[in-house]
Amino acid sequence: MANRRNAIHSLIILAFLGGLATGRAFFFNLGYALLILLFVAWLWARLNLSQVRLTRRTLTRRTQVGKTLDEFLSLQSRSLLPKLWLEVRDHSTLPEHRVSIVVPPLAPYGAFRWSAHTLCTLRGEFQLGGLTLASGDPFGFFQLTRHIPATSSVLVYPAIVPLADFAPEGGVLSGGEAQRQRAHFVTTNASGIRDYAPGDSFNRIHWRSTARRDRLIVKEFELDPLSELWILLDLNGVAHVARPSDAINIALGEIYLPPDSAEYAIAIAASISAHFLIKERSLGFVAYTPQRQVFQPDRGGRQLTRILEVLARAKVESALSFAQTIALESQQLTRGVIAILISADMSDDWLSEAQLLVQRGVRVIGVLIDPHSFGVSVSARRAEETRACLEISGVTTYLVRYGDDLSAALSRANLRLPSRPIW
Give me the CATH number covering residue 64: 2.60.40.10
- Strand 338-343's sheet: what is its strand order? 292-298, 283-288, 229-233, 338-343, 363-369, 396-400
Residues 99 and 118 in one domain: yes
**Structural domain includes residue 88:** yes
Residue 289, pLDDT above cutoff 70 = yes
Residues 260 and 405 in one domain: yes
Return d(Cα 336, Cα 391) in angstroms, integer.
19
Residues 314 and 406 in one domain: yes
Residues 201 and 56 in one domain: no
**Structural domain includes residue 171:** no
Residues 306 and 390 in one domain: yes
Answer for the pair 253, 306: CB distance below 8 angstroms, yes or no: no
pTM of the model: 0.77
Range of the domain at 65: 52-157
**Structural domain includes residue 405:** yes
pLDDT digits (tens, 9 = 90+) for 249-267: 554 555 678 888 999 999 9
Residues 280 and 379 in one domain: yes
pLDDT at position 223:
52
- CA end-to-end distance (rounded Å), the chain: 79
**Structural domain includes residue 421:** no
Residues 250 and 349 in one domain: yes
- The average confidence (pLDDT) of the chain is 83
pLDDT digits (tens, 9 = 90+) for 68-104: 999 999 999 888 888 888 899 999 999 889 899 998 8
- Residues 333, 336, 341, 345: what is their CA dihedral angle, to the nearest 10 degrees? 80
Return d(Cα 252, Cα 249) in angstroms, integer.
9
Residues 205 and 301 in one domain: no
Residues 140 and 236 in one domain: no
**Structural domain includes residue 43:** yes
Return d(Cα 266, Cα 63) in angstroms, integer.
16
Return d(Cα 114, Cα 90) in angstroms, integer.
13
Which residue type sits at 42? W
What is the count of structural domains for the chain? 4
Residues 128 and 189 in one domain: no
**Structural domain includes residue 162:** no
User: CA distances (Å), 410 to each of 21, 64, 275, 358, 415, in order?
Assistant: 90, 21, 11, 21, 7
Residues 370 and 325 in one domain: yes
Residue 275, pLDDT above cutoff 50 = yes
In the chain, % of residues over pLDDT 70: 86
**Structural domain includes residue 114:** yes
pLDDT digits (tens, 9 = 90+) for 217-249: 888 765 555 678 999 999 998 888 887 754 445
